[in-house]
């Protein structure tokens, strides 16, 4: 056995490690991944999945205080689970003989990636907004910068993005003759409504993404270049 492994001071040093430094590094990486890089990258996504797995284990430590920012970081890490589902669905789709451009499997792994990117971007924007409020309005916003509000905001983001991706998933059924399969006629009306809603949402994706990038840059500009203490 290597010397020092059973030394209690060695484990005490690991326990007292500055975990917040790791969390800040994780946030920087995630900002680069979702708000700086213009397109998703498989290698970066897998690295992000590994980092999120580490952060998930890190957040189990009792030394990390449970604050609203930690709630957002925890949800960002959980959102990367969708990357694993995406890789699994992509492998399953690649094993199929068909290469349909709108197969259910293809739409599935694309929607996992979409959900991951959208949830993470919105949660990171919440972190930016919270940092801005802490810097400029600490006392006035104390009542909304709580763990409860962070959990409510996170649940709202998850629910909204999952509903968005369900609409996208139903869109891939538009070319099927649903009524011939015995489905009720109102199902066709529902699918047509989903197709219209999907087209409308896709038209807003780029402007919203651009707005999030601009607002995050502005918030951090105000934070880092302000003379306020």
Please name which of 142, 159, 161, 156 lies closest in space to residue 67, comparing C-alpha atoms: 142
What is the average pLDDT across 146-151? 96
What is the average pLDDT across 93-101? 54
How many Cβ atoms from other residues are within 10 Å of residue 52's Cβ? 25
pLDDT (0 to 100) of residue 171: 80
How many Cβ atoms from other residues are within 10 Å of residue 7's Cβ? 10
Rounded distance, CA 61 to CA 78, Å? 16
Specify if 168 maps to a domain: yes
In the DSSP assignment, the letter for residue 33 is I
Containing H/E element for 207?
helix 185-224
pLDDT (0 to 100) of residue 5: 44
Contact at 8 Å (CB) between 35 and 213? yes
How does residue 119 score in pLDDT terms, banded at 50, 70 and 90?
very high
How many Cβ atoms from other residues are within 10 Å of residue 5's Cβ? 8
Specify if 5 maps to a domain: no
Specify if 166 maps to a domain: yes
Range of the domain at 47: 19-226
Rounded distance, CA 105 to CA 84, Å? 14
Specify if 157 maps to a domain: yes
Specify if 119 maps to a domain: yes
How many Cβ atoms from other residues are within 10 Å of residue 72's Cβ? 25
pLDDT (0 to 100) of residue 4: 46
Is-above-0.85 flag for pTM?
no
pLDDT (0 to 100) of residue 173: 73
Please name which of 116, 46, 112, 114 lies closest in space to residue 78, comparing C-alpha atoms: 116
pLDDT (0 to 100) of residue 72: 97
pLDDT at 51 over 80: yes
Contact at 8 Å (CB) between 55 and 26? yes
Rounded distance, CA 58 to CA 120, Å? 19
Specify if 13 maps to a domain: no
pLDDT digits (tens, 9 = 90+) for 165-213: 999 988 877 655 554 555 666 677 777 788 888 889 989 999 999 999 9
Specify if 47 maps to a domain: yes
In the DSSP assignment, the letter for residue 176 is S
pLDDT digits (tens, 9 = 90+) for 52-96: 999 999 998 887 888 999 999 999 999 998 887 777 666 665 565
Q: Is 102 helix (H, G, I), strand (E, B) or coil?
A: coil
Please name which of 197, 153, 154, 156 lies closest in space to residue 174, comparing C-alpha atoms: 197
- Count of structural domains within the chain: 1
pLDDT at 134 over 80: yes
Specify if 1 maps to a domain: no
């Amino acid at each position: 056995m290597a010397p020092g492994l059973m030394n209690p001071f060695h484990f005490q040093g690991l326990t007292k490690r500055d975990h917040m430094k790791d969390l800040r590094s994780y946030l920087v990486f995630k900002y680069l991944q979702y708000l700086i890089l213009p397109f998703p990258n498989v290698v970066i996504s897998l690295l992000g999945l590994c980092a999120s797995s580490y952060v998930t284990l890190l957040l189990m430590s009792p030394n990390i205080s449970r604050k609203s920012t930690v709630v957002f970081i925890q949800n960002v890490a959980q959102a990367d689970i969708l990357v694993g589902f995406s890789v699994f669905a992509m492998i399953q789709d690649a094993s199929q003989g068909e290469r349909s451009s709108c197969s259910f499997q293809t739409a599935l792994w694309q929607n996992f990636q979409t959900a991951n990117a959208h949830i993470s971007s919105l949660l990171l924007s919440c972190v930016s907004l919270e940092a801005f409020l802490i810097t400029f309005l600490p006392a006035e916003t104390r009542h909304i910068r709580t763990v409860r509000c962070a959990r409510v905001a996170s649940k709202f983001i998850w629910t909204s993005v999952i509903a968005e991706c369900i609409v996208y998933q139903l869109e891939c059924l538009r070319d099927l003759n649903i009524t011939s399969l015995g489905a009720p006629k109102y199902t066709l009306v529902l699918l047509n409504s989903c197709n219209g809603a999907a087209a409308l949402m896709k038209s807003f994706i780029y402007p919203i993404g651009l707005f999030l990038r601009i607002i995050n840059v502005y918030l951090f500009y105000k934070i880092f270049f302000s003379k306020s203490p």
